[in-house]
């Protein structure tokens, strides 16, 4: 049964919002399951809204955080080598450009997962604390000696951290700020946690890229929000903090890194104003743009399902490649089934041997891909294209073909 617990007011500014689009009933994106679990599988109506007042794009309906982030969480950050390098660069940027002038600095990261970023602070002997509610991924970090607490960050936890460790010089986060519905409590918590001259640096998928490339697969249960500089500026201005710099990133199909400080504490860089202007040019502050986005999503769905049906009508085989969270939206919104995909190959041990959320497509160890190449492979992990192509060169050499849907549906 599809559960409804819909909000009617914006999570950020509390103004009235209305959904402009539904992606239909959706399961938990990382809810890989066994056959015995089918009867209790959770679905919610995945509807999205744009708040015309604070400019925040958001889900109006989603599972509770504990249903998604717990001791069975299936996403381990360390599965991508290139993301490992990305987070080393992120950590060194914070250390070299902000912490070098501070005596005995203290860094807090939320959503620290398996320690992919925090380990670079730990290895340099920097005082650090990770906040990670999913116990299984947190354990991987703790086993490496990275200080981690298994909790959800919010204002009351921030107060507790300050009383035990003092205020932080840097607050860092990646791909987690957009995951938290009670975002105002998070920002209030950061305000309490951060020293007067401290720095906030976080990154998340950028709605500008999602809109331009129609990568609607960034919309799933975990992503309560897709940010823009406009919406982030509104969010932090509410609590006397401001965006002082923006740094576009290629990761996850296009992300934005926001640098934020207490109001007046640090100079605002020109790039912030440039990006705000660019967002107005793209129409990201106008409801009409979101209506166009809906039409584009529907077109992409028609194109992808049409291509898969066409290939199957010729008797050819197709497998999925990389059981990403994003693939749950593509599969369930487009109506992709086990009639289309034989299986999905993936590197994550706890996903292997299970079935995909909703459509119940088998997840198979990627090492078996080469033993049984399909005619076509649908690249769900397009954001890891470089890494995947490098290890799967043989597939093409043996006559296999990749199907992508970013930035358009096509055979590569």
Q: Taking CB within 5 to 8 Å according to partner kind, which of ligand SAH, ligand JHZ, Zn ion, none is near residue 51?
A: Zn ion
Among 19, 29, 54, 176, binds Zn ion (CB under 5 A): 54
Cis peptide before 407 (omega within 30 of 0): yes
Q: Is 176 in the site for ligand SAH (CB under 6 A)?
A: yes
Alpha-carbon distances of 320 from 34, 247, 308, 327, 384, rounded to whole Å: 19, 32, 11, 9, 14
Q: C-alpha angle with apex 388: 387 to 391, nearest 5 degrees?
A: 90
From candidates 133, 208, 358, 362, binder to ligand SAH by CB under 6 A: 133
206 binds ligand SAH (CB under 6 A): no
CB of 153 vs ligand SAH, minimal distance in Å: 4
Shorter beta-carbon distance to ligand SAH: residue 68 or 307: 68
Q: CA angle 74-79-80, nearest 5°?
A: 135
* Window 251-280: contact mask with ligand JHZ (x via CB under 6 A): -x----------------------------
Q: How far is the CB of 18 from Zn ion (least distance, A)?
A: 12
In whole angstroms, what is the distance from residue 51 CA to residue 49 CA? 6
Residue 132 binding ligand SAH, by CB under 6 A: yes
Q: Least distance to ligand JHZ from the beta carbon of 363, Å?
A: 8
- Residue 59 has φ and ψ, to the nearest 5°, of -80, 145
13 contact choice in Zn ion, ligand SAH, ligand JHZ, none (CB below 5 to 8 Å, kind-dependent): Zn ion
Helix, strand, coil share of the chain (percent; to 5): 40, 25, 35
Q: List the interface residues with ligand SAH, window 83-112 (CB under 6 A).
A: 110-111
Assigned token pair, 239? 């609590």
Contacted entry of ligand SAH, ligand JHZ, Zn ion, none for residue 235, CB cut-off 5 to 8 Å set by kind = none
CB of 85 to ligand JHZ, least distance (A): 12
Count of CB atoms within 10 A of residue 150's CB? 17
For helices 325-334 and 287-313, give the axis angle rounded to 10 degrees.
80
Instruction: Rule CB under 6 A: say whether 324 interacts with ligand JHZ.
Output: yes
| Least CB distance to ligand SAH at residue 110 (A) | 4
Integer Cα distance of 288 and 120 in angstroms: 43
Q: Which two three-digit tokens encode residue 124? A: 């340099």
Residue 180 half-sphere exposure toward CB, CA atoms < 13 A: 22
β-sheet with 148-149: strand ranges across: 148-149, 127-131, 106-110, 168-174, 194-205, 255-262, 241-249
Contacts with ligand SAH, 44-83, as mask; x by CB under 6 A: ---------------------x---x---x-x-x------
Residue 221 found at the interface with ligand JHZ (CB under 6 A): no
Please choose which of Zn ion, ligand SAH, ligand JHZ, none residue 62 contacts, taking the beta carbon within 5 to 8 angstroms, the exact cut-off set by kind. Answer: none
**Is the CB of 252 or the CB of 301 nearer to ligand JHZ?**
252
Nearer to ligand SAH, 25 or 78 (CB): 78
Residue 140 Cβ, how far from ligand SAH at the closest point, in Å?
A: 11
Query: At 96, is the secondary structure helix, strand, or coil?
Result: helix
Q: Measure the CA–CA gap between 279 and 211, rounded to whole angstroms.
A: 11
């Amino acid at each position: 049964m599809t559960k409804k617990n819909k909000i009617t007011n914006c999570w950020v500014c509390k103004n009235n919002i209305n959904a402009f689009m539904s992606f239909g009933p959706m399961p938990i994106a990382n809810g890989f399951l066994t056959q015995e679990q089918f009867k209790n599988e959770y679905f919610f109506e995945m509807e999205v809204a744009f708040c015309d007042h604070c400019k925040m794009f958001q889900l109006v309906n989603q599972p509770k955080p504990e249903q998604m982030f717990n001791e069975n969480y299936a996403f381990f950050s360390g599965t991508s080598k290139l993301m490992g390098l990305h987070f080393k660069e992120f950590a060194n940027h914070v250390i070299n450009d902000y912490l070098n002038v501070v005596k005995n600095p203290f860094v807090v990261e939320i959503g620290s997962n398996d320690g992919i970023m925090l380990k670079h602070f730990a290895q340099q002997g920097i005082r650090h604390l990770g906040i990670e509610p999913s116990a299984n991924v947190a354990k991987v970090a703790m086993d490496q000696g990275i200080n981690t607490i298994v909790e959800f960050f919010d204002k009351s936890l921030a107060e507790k951290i300050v009383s035990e460790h003092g205020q932080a010089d840097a607050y860092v986060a990646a791909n987690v700020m957009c995951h938290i519905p009670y975002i105002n409590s998070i920002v209030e918590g950061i305000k309490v946690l951060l020293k007067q001259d401290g720095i906030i640096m976080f990154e998340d998928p950028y709605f500008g890229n999602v809109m331009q490339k129609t990568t609607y697969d960034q919309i799933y249960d975990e992503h309560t929000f897709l940010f823009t500089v406009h919406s982030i500026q509104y969010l932090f201005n509410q609590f006397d903090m401001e965006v002082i710099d923006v740094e576009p990133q290629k990761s996850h199909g296009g992300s934005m890194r926001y640098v934020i400080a207490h109001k007046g504490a640090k100079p605002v860089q020109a790039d912030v104003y440039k990006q705000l202007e660019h967002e107005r040019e793209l129409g990201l502050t106008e409801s009409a743009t979101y209506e166009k986005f809906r039409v584009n999503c529907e077109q992409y769905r028609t194109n992808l399902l049409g291509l898969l049906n066409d290939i199957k009508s010729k008797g050819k085989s197709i497998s999925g490649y990389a059981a990403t969270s994003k693939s749950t939206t593509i599969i369930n919104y487009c109506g992709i089934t086990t009639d289309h995909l034989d299986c999905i190959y993936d590197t994550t041990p706890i996903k292997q041997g299970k079935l995909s959320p909703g459509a119940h497509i088998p997840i198979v160890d990627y090492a078996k891909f080469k033993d049984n190449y399909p005619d076509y492979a649908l690249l769900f992990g397009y954001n890891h294209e470089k890494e995947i192509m490098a290890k799967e060169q043989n597939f093409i050499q043996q006559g296999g073909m990749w199907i992508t849907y970013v930035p358009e549906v096509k055979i590569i």
